Amino acid sequence: SQQGEEDPQALSIQEGENATMNCSYKTSINNLQWYRQNSGRGFVHLILIRSNEREKHSGRLRVTLDTSKKSSSLLITASRAADTASYFCATDGRNYGQNFVFGPGTRLSVLP
């Protein structure tokens, strides 16, 4: 069974608005990473947050991590049409293995 679960499954917003996606997981982690997938192909690494971090920023991206609730959120501010993609969170296990568990993703549509 998949550990990471993104919520919502689909999100549609207007350009300029903010988009928030959530991810829940089940077991202890070392890191949580967010990825973007365009057009069902390219997987782009967005940001990594370690289990001892609570918040991280990268450009228009803000990621939070709450290990007590086993959840993370990705906020994209001032969205653009180019942000239209599927977003996935991936968690790795305590053994530092790279056997990431992905959720089904959130499909974000940013309308011009």
Partner 1 sequence: DAGVTQSPTHLIKTRGQHVTLRCSPISGHKSVSWYQQVLGQGPQFIFQYYEKEERGRGNFPDRFSARQFPNYSSELNVNALLLGDSALYLCASSTGSGEAFFGQGTRLTVV
Residue type, 40: G
How many residues are recorded in the chain? 112
Spatial distance between the Cα atoms of 80 and 36, rounded to a whole number of angstroms = 14
Q: What is the Cβ-side half-sphere exposure of residue 29, based on CA atoms within 13 angstroms? A: 31
45 binds partner 1 (CB under 8 A): yes
Between 20 and 31, whose beta carbon lies closer to partner 1? 31
Q: Which of 11, 29, 35, 91 binds partner 1 (CB under 8 A)?
A: 35
Q: Which stretch binds partner 1 (CB under 8 A): 11-19, 53-61, 75-83, 98-106?
A: 98-106
Contact 94, 70 (CB under 8 A): no
Indicate whether 98 belongs to the interface with partner 1 (CB under 8 A): yes
Residue ranges binding partner 1 (CB under 8 A):
2, 4, 30-31, 33, 35, 40-45, 48, 88, 90, 92, 96-105
